[in-house]
Amino acid sequence: MSALRWGQGKGAGAGPALFGLPLSFDHFVLPRMFRRPVRVLVRLGGGEFTAPPFSAAILSAVLIGSGSAYGAYLGGQIDGVVQGITARTGFAVDQIKVVGNRETSEIDILDRLELDGWTSLIGFDAEAARERIRTLPWVEVAAVRKVYPHTLEVRVEEREPFALWQQGNSLSVIERDGQVIAPFSGGKQALLPLIIGTGAPATAPDFLAKVKRYPELAARVKGYIRVGERRWDLKLENGITVKLPEDGEDQAIAELVRMDRDNGLLTRDIAAVDMRLSDRLVVQLTPEAATQREATLNEKPQNLKRKPETKI
């Protein structure tokens, strides 16, 4: 049935009126959806409507609430209003699950979520929280997911440590590509290989792979020292320094391992093994061994006592 119907009316003035204006015309009928509101307005206009008790207080509260919401909207505070309302209706974040963190503390992750105890899950900006978590030094990938009605789930993938890098007084954890992750903080990080010197991270992956071909040597190395960004020294656990050549370090490492297997070179009382010259090997004694050797060389052999001659 059409909302507008043309036909014969009941005559002028026969229909209802609002504030003196006729609501039903000779040739017009209001659509159904407007009839009830119009009847209420007619009763109000004719003085036939009696307001229920407390209607003034209710209307005032509605007006004040509407005005406050509108003011919050104009002032850019509407997000806070939504947070407050939804948090108090059962959507406050009260459970947080953190998965994938090994080096990153949960406290640091919670701090980046910026929760205040009444944060609503509905109004919470998960993408902004993810970006804040990504700024943590160990975090490579982060994801923040809302699990209704009141749980946040945080998943992180951390950067892979490769070595410790000492440069001057600074000691940092680095990735395989040489990027610094964070300052050294102890714990399991102490088990990482130690590389020392300017430019060491650039060539460390290839060089360490060469040394690791000989597990018996790699197990003794305390530090890998980059010298002049040209060559490497090995600092062993017993204090011996092995000076490798700039070129042909592969052959030098193999020769070092062979001499140690055959003669126990790296277990002797020596301070350094210099392999920088291609035609010779130079061994430096420890101060104690050098003193003992000097004393031995300076010691003069005593003359053998002659037996008395027997004359016949």
Average pLDDT by stretches of 10, the chain with 312 residues: 41 51 53 66 62 56 55 54 47 92 96 89 95 98 96 98 97 97 95 97 98 98 97 98 96 97 95 95 86 71 52 46
Helix orientation angle between 55-74 and 78-86, rounded to the nearest 10 degrees: 130
Which residues 6+ apart lie within 8 Å of 171 measured at CB?
A: 164, 165, 183, 184
Q: Is 240 exposed, middle or buried (0-12, 13-18, 19+ CB in 10 A)?
A: buried
Pairing of strands 194-196, 163-167: parallel
**What pLDDT, on the 0 to 100 scale, is given for residue 68?**
55
Interior/surface letters 87-101, b for 16+ CB within 10 angstroms, e for the rest: beeebbbeebebeeb
Token pair of 74 as six digits: 């104009």
CA atoms within 13 A on the CB side of 222: 8
Residue tagged 């011996």 (tokens): 240
Which residues partner with 95 through β-bridges?
Answer: 151
**What pLDDT, on the 0 to 100 scale, is given for residue 4?**
39
Which residues 6+ apart lie within 8 Å of 305 measured at CB?
A: none
Domains annotated on the chain, with CATH: 17-46 (no CATH), 88-158 (3.10.20.310), 163-298 (3.40.50.11690)
User: What is the full DSSP assignment across 212-237?
Assistant: TTSHHHHTTEEEEEEETTTEEEEEET
Residue 120 gets which letter from DSSP? B
pTM of the complete model beyond 0.75:
no
**What pLDDT, on the 0 to 100 scale, is given for residue 86?**
44
